[in-house]
Amino acid sequence: MDEKSYYSRLLIVLLMVLCFGVIVLQYICPTSDCQLLHLVSLSSRLGSRAPGNRMNGAGAGDPYSSEDGALVRFVPRFNFTSKDLNRAVDFNIKGDDVIVFLHIQKTGGTTFGRHLVRNIQLERPCECHAGQKKCTCYRPGKRDTWLFSRFSTGWSCGLHADWTELTNCVPSFMVSRESQERRRTPRNYYYITILRDPVWRYLSEWRHVQRGATWKASKHMCDSRLPTVSELPSCYTGDDWSGCSLEEFMVCPYNLANNRQTRMLADLSLVGCYNLSVMSESQRWAMLLESAKRNLRNMAFFGLTEYQRKTQYLFEHTFRLSFITPFTQLNGTRAASVEVEPETQRRIRELNQWDVELYEYARDLFLQRFQYARQQERREARQRRLEERRKLRAKVKSWWGVTGKAVFKSTKEPPMTEQSPAFLEEKQADAGQTLESETEGQVNWLEDDDSETILDYLENVEQWR
């Protein structure tokens, strides 16, 4: 009977200890950010990045790396300042700020433009009606647009207006729609665009022209005048160039498809607009390339057709706006269906050598911006975790009553002198406790720093295209 009673009491004690432990755990770790959960999360990340699980866990672990196809590590080629990489802007949609979309032909700009008017979570969503190409994108509480694009304001500055046209046209266009009182308030204009691999963009434009596209309505306004016929001669004599072969498309020296992205992103006023007699061709294109690079760096945002998820991420990070549905990477374009010989691809690259150089520069800047934004996001998350740990330690210390000093002392002990054994004993104990607390502080500091450094390193060792 005594033995059964003993085991019953032991079982009750164990249950009480277990219940007490659960209560303590819920008290000191009420959220899912518990250290144990951090260990589980870390082990799951390590498991998904193991060589054997890389393909299986790529999509679930990191959607941004899974879109790249071949997992080749990205190595930066260009040096950019932190100002070039950190492009988060204070976009005030309720104020007077305007996003201006520079739409370059055959870069996927139509899809991105539809995302802007139909796929952003807004307090006042754009009003889009069936059968109408344009949507009404007003600010909350105002009859004033926050977006200048094909699907909001139409081609108000000309069909596929370039950087030279937009920077001279958009401010005056917006002023013309304002009242006299509002015109005194300056606006912030945030220019954005989408770029594409030059070879595939060129092939896509050829297929589009082959089906009858001409873009005759494009103004090409520069220095307040239109180009003359001699400055911009046509490659065809009829109404359009439908049915042209790729060879015919490539041999025309006046084809605006050649290096289109560089020309549309540069300041054409620097080279005499479309007057080719101002300087040599090599000097002209060198100046246009540097201008395009500079304008691209200073733009609030640009995306790449080949990186849809990263483009979405950087736009959301830059403007603090969120898309409703994620972007999808579609490779089944008309250009992708064209079988082109390697020699023909080489010739296309030579024809678009300035676009090729600009795209490599843009791709490097784009991926560095993405990497910078992700690292910044992780640093902020790590800082929040450190703050939670400090609060957790303070909560535990206050719960257990740990103050660093003895709380209870016997009142019947004789007074101690500096020579008494009790005093020397307590002095040694205090010294040991001080050393222990200092050592504990060093261990905690090293542990926090090392663990976070290792976590940051593991999270940053990613595969890049």
Task: List pLDDT tens digits, range 307-343.
Answer: 999 999 999 999 999 999 999 987 656 666 678 999 9
Catalytic site residue 208?
no
* Of 103, 160, 220, 317, catalytic: 160
Distance (Å, whole) CA 254 – CA 233: 6
- pLDDT tens, position by position, 200-239: 999 999 999 999 999 989 999 999 999 999 999 999 999 9
Query: Among 193, 194, 168, which residue's Cα sits nearest to residue 269?
Result: 168
H-helix or E-strand containing 83?
A: helix 82-85
Beta bridge partners of 32: none
Query: Among 124, 87, 94, which residue's Cα sits nearest to residue 370?
Result: 87
Q: pTM for the whole thing?
A: 0.72
Beta bridge partners of 304: 195
Q: In what side-by-side order are the strands of the sheet with 301-304? A: 147-148, 98-102, 189-195, 301-304
CA 273 to chain centre: 34
The residues near 415 (Cβ < 8 Å, ≥ 6 apart) are none
Give the pLDDT band (50/70/90) at residue 407: very low
Give the pLDDT band (50/70/90) at residue 361: very high
**What pLDDT shows up at residue 193?**
98
Query: Among 128, 147, 129, 130, which residue's Cα sits nearest to residue 138?
Result: 147
What DSSP string describes 211-231? TT---TT----BTTBPPPTTT
Query: Among 340, 336, 341, 324, which residue's Cα sits nearest to residue 196?
Result: 336
Question: What is the pLDDT averaged over residues 360-375?
Answer: 96
Between 425 and 7, where is the model more confident? Answer: 7
3-state SS, residue 120: strand
Between 27 and 162, where is the model more confident? Answer: 162
> What is the residue whose two structure tokens read 């009790």?
422
Paired tokens of 107: 């870069």
Do the Cβ atoms of 388 and 33 come closer than 8 Å?
yes
Question: What is the pLDDT averaged over residues 397-413?
Answer: 55
Buried/exposed code over 328-346 (b: 16+ C-beta within 10 A; e: otherwise)? eeeeebebeeeeeeeebee
SS3 content of the chain, % helix, strand, coil (to 5): 50, 5, 40
CA 444 to chain centre: 34
